[in-house]
Amino acid sequence: MPSFADLNLIQDNSPVGDDEKQYTMTRRLDDGTTTYDPFTGVLPVLPPDAQLPDKNPRSNAATAASAAGVRALSAQAIAFYFRAPVKAFFRTRVDYLAYARSVHQAQIELLAQAAAKEPSTKLKATLNQAWFYLRGTTPGVLTSAVKQHGWSVLPNQVLPPLIANVGVGAVLYTSYLTILGSLHEESGRATKTVYPPPHPTQTFTAGFLAGSLQSFIAAPLDAIQARYDHRDLMPTEGGKPRSMWAFSAEKLREIGVRGIFAGWGLSLMKDSFGAAVFFSVFEYVKAQGYYRFVSWYYGGLEEHIVDFMAQKRPAKNGKPEDDNKQSLIIRPHYAIEPIFLLLGGLSASFAQQVVLHPLTHVQVEHWDRLEELDAKAAKLRETKGADPAHRKDGWRMARAYYRAYKETWSECCAEAAKEGLGVRKWLWRGFWWNTIRQVPSTSAGLIIFELVRRKYGLGSEEVRIMGDGWHDFTLAGWFAAPSDNVVRVKLVDTTTAMVGVAESFVQPVVKGHEVINFCSLAFLLEHEKLGKKAMFDLGVRKDYWNLPKGAQQGVLGPDSVIFGMSVPKGIDEVLADGGVDPKSIDYCIWSHAHFDHRGDVSVFPKSTTLVTGPGYFSSKGRPGGRDDPQAAAEFEGRPLEEANFDKGLMVGKFKAQDFFGDGSFYLLDAPGHQPEHICGLARTTPSSSPEGATFVFLGGDICHFAGVFRPSEETPLPNGIPASAIALRRDWASKAVCPCSHFTPHHPNASDEKSASTTPWYELPRGGKHPVYTDIDLATESVAKMRELDIKDNVMVCIAHDASLLDVLPVFNKQPERDINDWKTNGWKATTYWSWLNEVSVDGNTPHGPVVEGFWRDGKKWDYAGYLETLK
C-alpha cells in the first residue's frame, strides 16, 4: 500500500465550476517516476509563459463596496433576533436607524400606555406582545417612521448614515486588498484562490494600515456619532424633522477640524489594531487552517478508502493509459470550505472584540466630554477674535484635549469603584453578550466579502497540495506552506583539491587572481520518513587516471583548464569512514557528468539508481557517456533515470521535479554549463518549526565562484565585513571588522563605490580559449534565477566549488552525525556569505597561494608527461 507521502493532493477549481473543487492524487510508481496530469496553471506550479494579470483597482473597489453594503444590511438583519442595532463591519460609524428608532420608541410607549388601560384576555395580551415584537424589527422600525413623517425620512434620515457606512467600509476593504497585494505577490493577482496564502505578518500589517486609513477617513463620522447622542433630531411641534444632511453639515462647521479629531487617538487605536487582528485571524483560519485540514484528513485515508472515494481520470491527451498511471480524483465534501470561512469569521470577530471591547468603554466615557470641549473651543475662538493678546495662546486647546484623556481615565476608575468592580472587570463587563451579538453578522459579512472577492477573480487556477505536507515553494520567503517533509542534508568533503585557470570560469581576469582554488563538494541526503538516501554529486574519483580516455585528455591534456589536483580518498572511503555503507545509497544524482562531479559510480551497488539531467543518456559520442565503452561499468545493469521537467512544476523560476514526491527535495533545470546541468533544492526545516521552512540550494556548477552572483542590489556589500569571513587573506591580519572600502576600489566591474557594493564582482566568461560553459546565455539566465533565491533569508546557496563552506559548516568527514539543516538558527549563511572575498585580488596582490601544486597520485606528486603519451 502506498503511503500518502507518495500521493499528490491537488485542488482543482477550473473543471468543475465555482461551487465544487476537486483534488487529484497522483502516485509515485515502482520505477521511481511520478505521474501527474499535464495541468496548466497549477499554483505555485505555473508554466513559464503564464503570467496572471494584476488585479484591477476597479475590481478591488467593486469588491469593497459590494461587501461593505451587504455587511451593513446583514448587520441590521440580525436585529430581528436581538432587537438592537448591530454594529456594521468593524462597527457602524453612524447608526442609520437612530432617528427611526426614536420615532418608533415614542409610538411604542404610547401604545403600551393605551394597552395598559384596556382590559385584555390572555390571548389578546399574547397577540399584543407578538405585534410589539414585529414592530421592533428593522422593517417595523422603518415603517413606523415613514407613517409618522412620510417617505422623506428615508433619504433625509436613513440614507446619509447608510452611505457613510458603505463608503468607510469600501475604504477599508479597498486599502486592505491593495496593501496586501503589494506585500504578498500572489494576493495581488486576479485569482479566486490565493496560493500560497499570505503570512499572518503580512495580513496583520495590511489590516493595521487599512484600519488606520479608515480611521482617518471616518473621523468626521465619529465626531457626528459622538455629538448625536446630545442633539435631538425630533421635530418641533408641527414642524418637520431635521435632515441628517443639515445636522451633519452644521455640526462639522461648528466644531471645526480640531473638534473632528478630538478623541481620534482612541479611534485610531481601535481601528488599526482591530482591523489587524481581524484580518490576520480570518485569513489564517480560512486559508492555512483549511489547507491543513484537507491535507491531514484526506492524507490519512487508507488505500481502499481512497479507491472507494476516487474516480479514474483519463489522460488529457486521449491516449489509453495503464490504470496505475491514471490520476485519482477525490472531491472533499462541499461544506468543508464554507465551514472554514464561517470559522474564520467567528474567530476573527471574537479576536477583534478582545481588542475593541475595553477600548469602547473608555471611548464612550470620553465622548461624554466632547460637548464640553466644543464649548471651550468656541469660547476660545470668540476670545481670540475680541482680544488679540490671546491669539498667541494656541496650545490652550491642546492641553484641554490632553487633560480630557486623563479625566476620562479617572472617570472610568471612578465608575468601576462605584459598581464595586476592579478597572479590568469594569472594562470587560458585557463582553460575552456583546461578542455574541457581533459574531453572527460579522461572519456573514466576511463570507460575502470572500465570495465577492472570488467572483471578480479569474476562473482557471489550481492548488496543488502534497500529502504529509504541501507541494510548494514561496519565492518571497515570508511563508512556506505547512509541511513536515524534510531531508537531512550533510555536507561531504570529497577531499578533492584543484587549481583552475580563472579565464575559463570568470571575467574579467584580474592581476593577482589568475587562478582559482577549487574544492568539490558533495551532499548526502537522508529522507528518514521514506528510509531513502541519495548522494548529490560525487566529486572526483580517487583514481582519476582511470577516467575514460577522452575525459583524461580533458583533465591532463594541453587544453585542460586544470593544472593541479589531488584526491586522497574516494567517495566510498569517505562514506565508509563516516559510518555510511555505500550499499545503503539508493540514488546517485549527478548535477552534470563532468569528471569532478561524477566520481566513481561503480563503487555503489547495481541497485543504486543513477540520476542525471534530461537528455544525458540519449546523447551520443560524449566521453564518459552511455555509449562510451570505457564507461560501461558505470551504467551496465544499473537503473538509469533522467530528470523530467515536462510536468509544468515550477520552483521560483526554475523548472522543477519533486524528486521524492512529497516536497522535501526538488531537482531544478539549470542548463548553461552543460545542457543537462541540474541543481537541487532541499527543504531543511518544516514550516511548523519556529524558524519556518528553510531550504538549501545545491548549485553544482551553475557557476564556479560566488562572486559571480554577489553582491547584488538586494544584498549589497556591507560597510563592515567580519574579519572571520576573510581570515585567509594575507593583507588583512587584523581581528577587527574590515571596511568594504578595502575591496570596492578594486571591483573589476564597477566604476564607483556605490555600484561596487551592488554589482556582482565577476561575470561568466564569454569566449576565451577554453570555455567551460556550453551556452553562456543559458548559464547567465540560470545564475539570475539562483540569485533570486540567494537573496532570501530562508534559502542558503551552496555551489559545488565553494571551499569557504568547509570552514564554517559541519562536515560529514569530521562530524558524520551532524547535518546542516539548522543553518539559519546558527547563522551560517551570514558567516559564509562574503567568504569568497578571501580569493579576490586587491592591488594586484594574490591573497593566498594555490591549494595544490601539480597533480598528485598515490600520495605523491605525479610527473604525468610520460603517461600522456599512452593516451594518444
Confidence label for 675 from pLDDT (cuts 50, 70 and 90): very high
C-alpha span between 470 and 293 (Å, rounded): 12
If asked whether residues 130 and 74 sit together in one domain, one would say yes
pLDDT in tens, 779-807: 999 999 999 999 988 999 999 999 999 99
DSSP-assigned letter for residue 845: B
Q: Look at residues 430, 455, 480 and tell me which one is the last residue of a structural domain.
A: 455
- Domain of 730 in residue numbering reads as 488-871
Percent of the chain with pLDDT over 70: 61
Confidence label for 596 from pLDDT (cuts 50, 70 and 90): very high
C-alpha span between 46 and 677 (Å, rounded): 21
Spatial contact of 211 and 276, defined as CB atoms under 8 Å apart: yes
Q: Could you tell me if residue 466 is inside a domain?
A: no
Torsion sign (Cα): 826, 829, 832, 833? negative
pLDDT in tens, 762-773: 999 997 778 899
pLDDT in tens, 385-434: 555 555 555 566 566 666 777 777 877 888 888 888 888 888 888 788 77
Give the burial class of 430: count Cβ atoms within 10 A of its Cβ; 0-12 exposed, 13-18 middle, 19 or more buried.
Answer: exposed
Number of Cβ within 10 Å of residue 262's Cβ equals: 25
Residue 629 has pLDDT above 80, yes or no: no
Q: Look at residues 439, 455, 471 and tell me which one is the last residue of a structural domain.
A: 455
Of residues 449 and 155, more confidence is placed in: 155
If asked whether residues 426 and 493 sit together in one domain, one would say no
Spatial contact of 500 and 515, defined as CB atoms under 8 Å apart: yes
Query: Which stretch of 52-61, 294-303, 492-501, 594-603 has the lowest confidence by average pLDDT?
Result: 52-61
If asked whether residues 134 and 181 sit together in one domain, one would say yes
pLDDT in tens, 450-465: 556 555 554 434 444 4
Query: Which stretch of 70-79, 239-248, 598-607 has the lowest confidence by average pLDDT?
Result: 70-79
Residue (of 440, 320, 413) closest to 71 by Cα position: 440
Residue (of 308, 366, 855) closest to 565 by Cα position: 855
If asked whether residues 710 and 590 sit together in one domain, one would say yes
Spatial contact of 490 and 518, defined as CB atoms under 8 Å apart: no
Query: Which stretch of 1-10, 220-229, 515-524, 719-728 has the lowest confidence by average pLDDT?
Result: 1-10
> Residue 685's pLDDT is what?
92
> Residue 585's pLDDT is what?
98
DSSP-assigned letter for residue 685: E
- Cell numbers found for residue 471: 507541494
Element (H, E) at 497: strand 488-501
> Residue 76's pLDDT is what?
42
If asked whether residues 754 and 851 sit together in one domain, one would say yes
Q: Could you tell me if residue 475 is inside a domain?
A: no
Mean pLDDT of the chain: 75
Q: Could you tell me if residue 391 is inside a domain?
A: no
If asked whether residues 449 and 505 sit together in one domain, one would say no
Could you give the C-alpha distances from 798 to 190, 537, 592, 782, 792, in angstroms and in order?
36, 12, 16, 15, 14
DSSP-assigned letter for residue 522: E
> Residue 46's pLDDT is what?
39
C-alpha span between 594 and 554 (Å, rounded): 10
Of residues 68 and 245, more confidence is placed in: 245
> Residue 94's pLDDT is what?
53
pLDDT in tens, 185-219: 777 765 556 766 888 999 999 999 999 998 888 77
Q: Could you tell me if residue 342 is inside a domain?
A: yes
State the virtual CA torsion across 522, 526, 530, 536 in degrees, nearest 10: -10
Number of Cβ within 10 Å of residue 639's Cβ equals: 14
If asked whether residues 797 and 700 sit together in one domain, one would say yes
> Residue 470's pLDDT is what?
32
Of residues 792 and 336, more confidence is placed in: 792
Number of Cβ within 10 Å of residue 439's Cβ equals: 19
If asked whether residues 413 and 516 sit together in one domain, one would say no
> Residue 805's pLDDT is what?
95
C-alpha span between 48 and 26 (Å, rounded): 22
Three-state secondary structure of 36-103: CCCCCCEECCCCCCCCCCECCHHHHHHHHHHHHHHHHHHHHHCHHHHCCCCCCCCCCCCCCCHHHHHH
C-alpha span between 581 and 574 (Å, rounded): 10
Query: Which stretch of 40-49, 314-323, 326-335, 707-716 has the lowest confidence by average pLDDT?
Result: 40-49
Percent of the chain with pLDDT over 90: 31
Measured CA angle at 103 (ends 98, 109), to 5 deg:
120
If asked whether residues 199 and 276 sit together in one domain, one would say yes
C-alpha span between 568 and 553 (Å, rounded): 21
**CATH at residue 168:** 1.50.40
What is the mean pLDDT of the segment spanning 284-305? 73
> Residue 428's pLDDT is what?
81
What is the mean pLDDT of the segment spanning 3-25? 34
Residue (of 565, 580, 566) closest to 813 by Cα position: 580
**CATH at residue 635:** 3.60.15.10
Spatial contact of 314 and 259, defined as CB atoms under 8 Å apart: no
Beta pairing class for 327-330 and 311-313: antiparallel
Beta pairing class for 640-642 and 650-651: unpaired
If asked whether residues 411 and 543 sit together in one domain, one would say no
Element (H, E) at 280: helix 264-283
Q: Could you tell me if residue 594 is inside a domain?
A: yes
If asked whether residues 505 and 446 sit together in one domain, one would say no
User: Which residues partner with 650 through β-bridges?
Assistant: 655
Spatial contact of 360 and 353, defined as CB atoms under 8 Å apart: no
Q: What is the pTM of this model?
A: 0.52
Question: Best-predicted range by mean pLDDT among 23-37, 241-255, 319-333, 811-825?
Answer: 811-825
Number of Cβ within 10 Å of residue 663's Cβ equals: 29
C-alpha span between 148 and 235 (Å, rounded): 11
Q: Could you tell me if residue 468 is inside a domain?
A: no
Q: Could you tell me if residue 227 is inside a domain?
A: yes
Q: Could you tell me if residue 478 is inside a domain?
A: no
If asked whether residues 435 and 521 sit together in one domain, one would say no
Provide the domain count of the chain. 2
